[in-house]
Structure 1
Amino acid sequence: MSSNSKQTQLPEEAPKADDAYLSVVVLCFSRIFPAILNAAVDLNLFDIIAKLQSSSHHSTFSAFEIASQLPNQHPQLAERLERMLYVLTSYSLFNCSIRINGEGKSERVYALSPIGQYFAFDKDGGSLGPLSTLVHSGYQDLWSDVKDAIINPNNNEHFQKVYGSPAYEYFEKNEELTHIFNKATAHSGPLEMKRVLTLYKGFEGISTLVDVGGGVGNALKQILYK
């Protein structure tokens, strides 16, 4: 037997060093995930899977089955979608398992995770998907020069420096961004208030409740119907 067949023992610190290195590599590519998440929200991917789960006796679905619900069908759609599903699963937005299909071949199947469910609309219209769109699309130019916001002594309002006006003035002039902002607050607000009402009992037994804030009164409605 050759001496080359002797197994080499790695030092105990090697796995920890590998973990640190891989974590740094992930950070280097960290800008990719927000783009993929935004694409998934734009494609209504979370709602598509939620509807499949609620209307089928199956709880998990292949990339081909999910892709069949998307517009612009083409031969590469399922394969491209699966690459997106890989990434979203690695961030725990989906659960992934293996099953044997009708052809006797193994395939990955996916289901919404408890985290991913927050990006699908619930029965009350709550979802964090529009909030993700706001942060990604509405504020994306803010992230391009964060360094200046730190080291420039004259940069006291980074939003105004980037967009030319304070946030609310800019929103008034940009109808599309205003729509995105209003949609994000309208659909994320119910989720937050639902959590508040689950834990906070201070509204119980009161005879008068006045809403003096902005918006359209959704928080007040949730309190009254609790």
Structure 2
Amino acid sequence: MNPTRTLATTARVLTQIRHDPRTVVLLIAVPALLIGLVAWIFTNTPVFATIGPAILALFPFIVMFLVTSITTLRERRTGTLERLLSMPLGRGDFILGYTLAFGLLAVIQALVAVGYAVWVCGLEIKGDVWLMVAVAVTDAVLGSTLGLFASAFARTEFQVVQFMPLIVFPQILLGGIFIPRDQLPDGLRQISDWLPLSHAVDALNAVSTNSHDAAYIGGQLLIIGAFAVAAVVVGALTLQRRTP
């Protein structure tokens, strides 16, 4: 991999997204608006205070997964990736460039989502807000890297959506969003330990309630980061030049 080529790819992706207002709105505004909708639904109830941190993990994760996977697949289907790889650009440069681009967008998305949840929707955070932002950013980056991973195997946008029941839905069901993970049956609890979204939800809940120290949060971030790196590596190794 070459840092110059990687950064050039990052700049190209950011330029493309900047000229697509709908994608910008989807990435930056939609997660915050969905969080606001959940807060509005549960007005005058304690529910939002309970599920709010988990929702902060869920919506950015799903949005980044969809946008990244479809955008990368489009590069392959239009022949752009094939033309790029015919030049001195490796698969690693391409995947890492996309990861950096969507990682920067994830920072903005996390700042907007956390700020909206805390200062507009009234989500109470007993821990440090910067830790909440750090977990939200890492969670959004995870969604991006899993999107890159899924795009390597999909041939159409519809197939990307079909990956959601395989990659996304089990994490939603077992990640502690609907029921605390320690209340899951033993077998399901063990499976949930191997799902990265579970660790994002655990970390956000820990920050929200201030029930664990920064070392615990850092450990969860390392686990999420390890899954993200693994997805990037596998995505780079399996990326096809062009969809058959």
Query: Do the structures match in fold with TM over 0.5?
Result: no
- The structure in which a higher percent of residues are strand is 1
- The structure in which a higher percent of residues are helix is 2
**TM-score computed with the length of structure 2 as normaliser:** 0.24
Q: Which has the higher contact order (CA 8 A, sep 6+)?
A: 2
**TM-score computed with the length of structure 1 as normaliser:** 0.25
